[in-house]
Structure 1
């Protein structure tokens, strides 16, 4: 079971990266909900609870929903988010209506359809894991073969057209694989939570890098770890569903990345903000000293620190840092500007004048 959830997390992370970068965050939610009517209709037609049959119906329904979204966006004036919300609500409403109807049938207790709402990883069989592994392998091969096309379409579709690429086919290929990944996860995570499994690893990976290849790899790793850890936690605790626990572990990766990533993390952003503010204080203090020193023939002409403290932002701490940088010297309550500090302030002052002009 751990291997199956790890494979699922990896493929969702890889393909979710494209959904996140294409600003289609609701696509996973819409397709997973759009798959519900397909599951119900497959059961009504075949009368079997065979997982592969139900997932085939989900795949067909999900693909229909995905391409309806594309058609609505291209043939109407509606935005993508509107089309996603429309398909999500209509298909999910239709699916819930069919499930309500199925519950009243004599064989409804044998359907096993409820596992597709919130997932049931315990129902994964060895053949399901092998099937996930094969699909993941195919996805990796396709990504490697069409990496250049995917990358160009992702960042500049118009440029891709000028190079002669068939952007429609490439877009259909990406969308189809995203739908397949979502359908694979329905049995484990469920319709309701599948979008989080698709987006969370990719959102976490995006915080750590600006490289598409690195992001795809990181998202796959985050997704796989989330699957393994979520499965392990639910297996060691009673009455814990595997799907929700996997999603919660993935959410922890997202929160950790949002806070601690060096380039975009909130913590380091706040640290940089404080550093920039402190540097600004130092520069303002040094510029003020420069204004005093340049009016005297001797730049070491002494002035009391008390003068500086009459101005907002000029603190003893700022003076101490300037002394550490060897821009000024302090002797008791007297200060003097060094040659190094004078020339640095002169360059800073000239830059400021140029910007003002």
Structure 2
């Protein structure tokens, strides 16, 4: 089955439709909430929370003895929130920095989770098979109820986002100013963190513990390259996330032996790569083009200044001495003369040149405004 056949079957095949909708909704909510993690410079928080959720899944299974998805995700949510609470406690009550606290909790919880999974796999209970899918994800296990749960959480998150939009926005860019306005910064911060944890937990079944942080951050990082406006960034990140889910699922379904989660993350990474290169404001390509254009403009301005000096200091600019001075100038080339003429700063007549009135005014302004490398 190729990708075209896949999209033709999406509307008729229940399994494909469910998986596609699930990954699209997951990508949208991850992009939307991941924007806050990126702008708050908490990129590693998603990695720490996703790994901290693993022991919660194992403990939930040990208590219930069943692989009910909702129960396991509830255990993951509790474990993820506990890990977040510990991270904040370490940062607040010790001299350790944020990255150290994140690394400690990530390693501790993930190690404990792997220990519990090993213990469970050695039990005689045959029901433990399949728990390892939460490590790397298994989108094929999504059912309609899972997609409905993702859609409900996305709707609630969007409602809360719109309800507290002003508070979130101020808190994001100036926490101290938020306090002076009388807002409860602890509540706002906890609310944002809770929904980030919730989005991560919802994605564990599809993408897995190991790759979930990339799903959270990649769409937001790509969207950040295209805009400076928060609302626009959230919208673009949601679109990138949804398209990553859809196309990643399509590629995985059209090829044999390709896991859906890693392919989704790779597609999201392609969006990041394209954004880093081709975005007009911050893209590497346009940065290089602007750099070359600025360098050319600077060269023309230097040439114009030098020609202005020649005119001011020599009564006859056609005198061999004046011509030799101009020819020895590093920025003087036939191409630069043609470009100066195109800008109507000089006029050319054979081998002779003269400054136009506009060229005089431009040169005088350049003396009043120093060049960038001065």
Tell whether the structures are fold-level matches, with TM greater than 0.5: yes
Corresponding position: 1:293 with 2:298: no
- In structure 2, the residue matched to 1:225 is 243
Structure 1, unaligned runs of 5 or more: none
Distance 1:106 1:306, change over 3 A: farther
3-state SS, counterpart of residue 294 of structure 1:
helix
State the distance in 1 between where 2:83 and 2:352 align.
76
Q: 2:143, 2:304 → 1: CA distance?
A: 71
Aligned partners of 2:359, 2:45: CA distance in 1, in Å? 57
Is 1:182 matched with 2:162? no
Looking at structure 1, the residues matched to 171 and 93 of structure 2 have their Cα atoms a distance apart, in angstroms, of: 20
Residue 87 of structure 1 deviates from its aligned partner by 0.7
Per the alignment, residue 13 of structure 2 pairs with: none
Aligned partners of 1:17 and 1:219 also within 8 Å: yes
Q: CA deviation at 1:133?
A: 0.5
CA displacement, residues 303-344 of structure 1 (integer Å, 9 cap, x when unaligned): 776643322232221111001111112222222222221121
CA contact (8 A) 2:77 2:198 kept: yes
1:111-260 alignment, distance < 5 Å: 111-260=129-278
Cα displacement (A) at 1:297 = 5.3
1:341 and 2:348 are equivalent in the alignment: no
Q: Is the 8 A contact 2:35 2:237 kept in 1?
A: yes
Q: Match for 2:90 among 28, 49, 72?
A: 72
Deviation, 1:50, is 1.1
Does 2:29 correspond to 1:6? no
Identify if the C-alpha distance between structure 1 residues 193 and 302 changes in structure 2 by more than 3 Å, giving closer, same or farther: farther
Deviations 1:156-211 (A, max 9, x none): 00100011000001111100000000000000000000000000000000000000
- 2:239 aligned counterpart, secondary structure: helix
**Paired residue for 2:338, among 294, 301, 320?**
320
1:24 equivalent to 2:21? Answer: no
Q: Deviations over 1:30-54 (max 9, x none)?
A: 0000000111111111111111111
| Inter-partner Cα distance in structure 1 for 2:324 and 2:215 | 60
Deviates more, 1:93-102 or 1:163-172: 93-102
| Alpha-carbon RMSD | 1.7
Cα separation, partners in 2 of 1:305 and 1:242, compared to 1, 3 Å: farther
Distance in 1 of aligned mates of 2:188 and 2:150: 23
Looking at structure 2, the residues matched to 326 and 181 of structure 1 have their Cα atoms a distance apart, in angstroms, of 59
Distance 1:228 1:348 in 2: 54
> Does the aligned pair in 1 maintain the 2:137–2:209 contact within 8 Å?
yes
Aligned partners of 1:350 and 1:81: how far apart in 2? 48
In structure 1, what is the Cα distance between the partners aligned to 2:138 and 2:160? 29
For residue 115 of structure 2, the aligned residue among 93, 97, 107 is 97
Answering whether residue 69 of structure 2 is matched by residue 51 of structure 1, we say: yes
Residue 67 of structure 2 contacts residue 127 of structure 2 at CA under 8 Å; is this kept in 1? no
> TM-score if structure 1 supplies the norm length?
0.95
**Structure 2, gaps ≥5 residues long:** 1-18
Partner in structure 1 of residue 10 of structure 2: none
User: Residue 26 of structure 1 aligns to a residue in which SS?
Assistant: helix
Structure 1 Cα separation of the partners of residues 173 and 74 of structure 2:
32
Taking structure 1 as reference, are residues 302 and 344 closer, same or farther at Cα in structure 2, changes over 3 Å only?
Answer: farther
Deviates most, 221-230 or 93-102 = 93-102
1:301 Cα deviation from its structure 2 partner: 5.7
Q: Would you say how many aligned residue pairs link Structure 1 and Structure 2?
A: 354
